[in-house]
Amino acid sequence: MQAIERALEQRLAPQGVPLAVVLPGGRRLGQADAAVTLRLHELAPLAHLATGQIGRVAEAYVEGRLDIDGSMRDLMHVAALMVGDAALEGDGARPLTWWSNLTRTVKSRVRHQLDADARQVQFHYDVSDDFYALWLDERRVYSCAYWKDPAMTLDGAQAAKLDHICRKLMLREGERFLDIGAGWGGLLLWAAEHYGVRADGITLSKNQHAHVNRLIDERGVRGRVTMTLCDYRDLPEAEPYDAIASVGMFEHVGHANLPVYFHQVRRLLKPGGLLMNHGITAGGTRNHQLGAGMGDFIERYIFPGGELVHLSHVLKVTSEAALEPVDVENLRPHYARTLWAWSDRLEAHLARAREFTRESVVRAYRLYLAGSAMSFEQGWISLHQVLATRPDHDVASGPMRGAQSRFPFNREYIYR
């Protein structure tokens, strides 16, 4: 035990990490005036701290084996100092042999069968609608906001994001629009009410499905807007869409199924139509989850089945599905600010949160929201909007010769 204590003190002291640890017997390690104090109820987490396995420390907190004194922002500052480059040293950071690549693909394919995907989505999104409503914006948009003005509120930044996507997709009245993974209906209803499209949404979350169908009836848009409990692989292809959005969904698809996903999207999209794929991407080219145990923590408590790939792989698979990427925008720091806004809201309503769900869920989300904010700030993970077309192969069509779609090949229309 003394060796572990010395290892922890050596880890903290050189970097001036503002952390103190109180052992079960009351002995205190670390800075006397530390911004963050971990109060251990058993000794096992001490070894994880000493070896930098932050994910295992987070597990101990969720399971009540330690408590935390200090703000989430101070805690994440400490975590960033302790993790460092190890955040990008996930399972895939080492050069992949043919065997490790094969096993990853097989594991991914098994984890993303139809019934497994439904269970995994419901595990995350069906925690409690009231719990999510405490810290999301008024529309319950559960994805990266767009802070086009630094003075914006969270509600304003989410509305700006919804409009940003609709502008990129060049939505027009009367067109057919599909939202894959439509959440609580923010984008679906925005597109219908502000752009006059006929909007179809799908989700695997029973709670979200029920919530959006209530909103459709309350707003009197039944007949123009639908929300279906459906997997993207089961969507009929007889009547393709003019535009498709997928926001915060493809992270659930799985590495092995990305070719299936993008080929299905292509079949659902009219020739010349536009696709917006908005999602979290890996910060490194060879890691599919965060290192230092953080990815394992998210897999266990937050997003079972979630898999990240680098932007370069997203573009590769998109192109191999005969979709042409025409615009890519990195919104990484926008997501950091969004997550801090969510985290601050949850911290302000912890007592209410515990009325809506289990204590372990509240603890897990405290760490998840703040930890994700830190990870986006550090560049360990990223967020990209990839706009793509399904070329119609008519070089004379579109706003420019060779466009083969309605995309104008400039960004002026987005900001006009």
We report the CATH number of the domain holding residue 45 as: 3.30.1050.10
Among 45, 72, 88, residue at a domain's last position: 88
Among 73, 88, 103, residue at a domain's last position: 88
Phi/psi of residue 324, nearest 5 degrees: -100, 115
Q: Quick one: tokens of 326? A: 């025409």
Asked if residue 8 has pLDDT above 70, the reply is no
Q: What is the mean pLDDT of residues 235-251?
A: 93
Asked if residue 304 has pLDDT above 80, the reply is no
167 and 275 belong to one structural domain: yes
344 falls within a domain: yes
pLDDT score of 98: 37
Asked if residue 110 has pLDDT above 50, the reply is no
**Structural domain span for residue 79:** 2-88
317 and 393 belong to one structural domain: yes
Residue 151 or 306, more confident: 151
40 and 120 belong to one structural domain: no
Residues in the chain: 416
Tens digit of each residue's pLDDT (9 = 90 or more) over 130-147: 999 999 999 999 999 999
| Mean confidence (pLDDT) of the chain | 86
123 and 81 belong to one structural domain: no
Q: Quick one: tokens of 7? A: 């290892």
97 falls within a domain: no
387 and 317 belong to one structural domain: yes
126 and 181 belong to one structural domain: yes
The mean-pLDDT minimum among 32-36, 78-82, 232-236, 390-394 falls in: 78-82
Tens digit of each residue's pLDDT (9 = 90 or more) over 186-198: 999 999 999 999 9
**β 176-180/198-203 pair status:** parallel
323 and 380 belong to one structural domain: yes
pLDDT score of 397: 83
Tell me the whole-structure pTM to 2 decimals. 0.86
Q: What span, in angstroms and rounded, lies between the C-alpha atoms of 188 and 198?
A: 9
229 falls within a domain: yes
181 and 62 belong to one structural domain: no
343 and 228 belong to one structural domain: yes
Determine if residue 272 is left, alpha or beta; phi over 0 gives left, psi from -120 to 50 gives alpha, anything else beta: left
Is-contact 4 50, C-beta < 8 A? yes
397 falls within a domain: yes
